[in-house]
Amino acid sequence: MVRAAETLRAADNAHKARLLGALEAPCVGARACETQRICREAYRLHVDALNLTGAAKDKLSAGQAEDAARLLGSAEEKLKRAQADVTTCTEHAHDLRRFYKL
């Protein structure tokens, strides 16, 4: 679980969606499962924001600037929330490493 979170953190944005599945694997232990949940939600939010950014680019290319601006606003909000959540994920993953002496 810790390795999956670290891999996601280090991955290019283009690969994060594909790597999210690793945080769906069964987990064992309350600490590990809580960390997995926190990380899964954080990176899912991050990936959602990336998808919104891509959709905004498509809208802009199609000449739909107002729609693109709305999508970018939503993406920015999600990225801000994701940034804080990813920080929490990272802290929990480090705590797991220390707890289990990994």
Q: What is the pLDDT of residues 7-61, one digit of tens each?
A: 999 999 999 999 999 999 999 999 999 999 999 999 999 999 999 999 999 999 9
pTM for this entry: 0.90
Two tokens, residue 40? 């899964």
Predicted confidence at residue 1, as pLDDT, reads 83
SS3 state at 62: coil
Contacts of residue 60, Cβ cutoff 8 Å, sequence gap at least 6: 68
The number of residues making up the chain comes to: 102
